[in-house]
Amino acid sequence: MADVPVIDIAPLLSGSPGCTEVADRLHGACRDVGFFYVVGHGVDPGLFERLDSLARRFFACPTADKERIAMSRGGTAWRGWFPVGGELTSGVPDHKEGMYFGSELPRADRRVRRGLPLHGPNLFPAFLPEMRPAVLEYMERLTAVGQAVLRGLGIGLGLGPEWFVQHLTADPLVLFRIFRYPPLPGRGEEWSVGEHTDYGLLTVLWQDEKGGLEVRTRDGWVDAPPVSSSLLCNLGDMMERLTRGFYRSTLHRVQHHGTGDRLSFPFFLDPSWEARIEPLSLRSQADDGAGSRWDGESVHRAIGTYGDYIVAKVARVFPDLAQSAAGLTRVRDASPTLPSHDES
């Protein structure tokens, strides 16, 4: 954990003095490891407790009950529940089950009427009516946290505090997942989720006390355990693309042994659907990273809009669902290799 710093972001949320110092610390963390804990985020601890309790109640239900909100019922909105083994990382089934959520949009919304993938209403379990308000409140609170972190990164990069919201996240693509990791059956080299990078801008994670998340640093793999009152942040591939490799998305993986289930709650603040991620002139020469990245691919190739890019990625996480979801097969796959988005 000594490799992953803990940073108080309260000045970025309030606009009080100290923003520059916080931005400097965030900037250093993004250059050194790409992961950092944030405290002073202002999220009520009671909200974490409510979500944890509701998630455990849901996952303990019979499969038939959970199937009422199966992802196959969500269509191109990509919302709902999937079983253990139902999501892939680099083509390998994960040892976890989970729920997908996103910005809550009514069916009358023009984007939903157009059939844009990843846009639409969420699927909430009718037998747990408390889950809907808890999830929607959590996404609202984490959006504010994510935008505050991006203000700090804007300052650190010399772009100004409002650069991200002015250019990429005024109408962000907001995604939220709740995952249950049952203990792995053996003690070998198997993984709950194999090594991968996330593919958006910024991930903000709350995890329970079980631990199991590992981060690849310059000195090798280190644990990233839960830290009291904190949220764990990491950068995704689009931040690496935007900064021409100046900031790197960092490899991470999950291995959960022991007793009891591990729950994690990753939240993703990503660019607007129509945004084009054009690399900034932060360095004299771009670093395509193709020979050094974990997947041998470059995130610096032209990818069209962020919407094109993310649909191609999500379709590879759930290939069976992609084949049945209307419209997804018409989206050009702009990136041939899938780094999983959200397995922390």
CB 104 within 8 A of CB 146: no
pLDDT-derived band at 211, boundaries 50, 70, 90: very high
| Among 260-264, 266-270, 303-307, the least confident range | 303-307
Span 205-230, mean pLDDT?
94
The reported pLDDT for the residue numbered 189 is: 66
The mean per-residue pLDDT over the stretch 4-10 comes to 97
Predicted confidence at residue 291, as pLDDT, reads 47
Looking at residue 115, its pLDDT comes to 84
Position 334 scores a pLDDT of 33
The reported pLDDT for the residue numbered 340 is: 41
Q: Select the CATH number that applies to the domain covering 6-286 from these four: 1.10.10.10, 2.160.20.10, 3.40.50.620, 2.60.120.330.
A: 2.60.120.330
Above 50 in pLDDT, residue 290?
no
Residue 56 neighbours by CB distance under 10 Å: 13
Q: Name every residue whose Cβ is closer than 8 Å to that of residue 207 and which is 6 or more positions away in sequence.
A: 213, 226, 232, 262, 263, 264, 265, 344
Highest mean pLDDT among 89-93, 110-114, 177-181: 177-181
Contact by Cβ (8 Å): 200, 309: no
User: Please, which residues bridge with residue 231 across strands?
Assistant: 38
pLDDT for the residue numbered 303: 63
Give the other-Cβ count within 10 Å of 336's Cβ.
9
Q: What is the mean pLDDT of residues 45-61?
A: 98
Cβ-contact 222, 4 below 8 angstroms: yes
- H or E element: which one contains 249? none
pLDDT digits (tens, 9 = 90+) for 121-164: 999 999 999 999 999 999 999 999 999 999 999 999 999 999 99
pLDDT band at residue 281 under the 50/70/90 scheme:
confident
343 pLDDT above the threshold of 50: no
pLDDT of residue 328: 46
- The domain spans of the chain are 6-286
pLDDT value of position 154: 97
> Residue 62 is encoded by which pair of tokens?
């019979």
Q: What is the pLDDT of residue 299?
A: 65
Nearest-angstrom CA–CA distance, 99 and 71:
8
Give pTM, 2 decimals. 0.88
Max mean pLDDT range (188-192, 209-213, 309-313): 209-213
> pLDDT band for position 321 (50/70/90)?
low
- β-partners of residue 146 are none
> What pLDDT score was predicted for residue 296?
60
Lowest mean pLDDT of 65-79, 299-313, 321-335, name the range. 321-335
- The model's pLDDT over 223-263, given as tens digits with 9 standing for 90+, comes to 999 999 999 999 999 999 999 889 989 999 999 998 899 99
Residue of higher predicted confidence among 198 and 338: 198
pLDDT score, position 314 = 74
Return the exposure string of 69-81: e unless at least 16 CB atoms fall within 10 Å of the residue's CB, then b: bbbeebbbbbbbb
Which residue has better confidence, 88 or 141?
141
Least confident span in 34-48, 179-193, 231-245, 318-332: 318-332
pLDDT of 100: 96
Least confident of 64-68, 121-125, 282-286, 291-295: 282-286
Do the Cβ atoms of 92 and 103 come closer than 8 Å? no
pLDDT of residue 309 exceeding 70: yes
Give the ranges where the chain is alpha helix by DSSP (H). 10-14, 19-32, 45-59, 63-66, 110-113, 131-156, 163-167, 237-242, 306-317, 319-324
pLDDT at 301: 63
**pLDDT at residue 61 above 80?**
yes
Contacts for 110-113: CB closer than 8 Å, 24+ residues apart: 111/273, 112/77
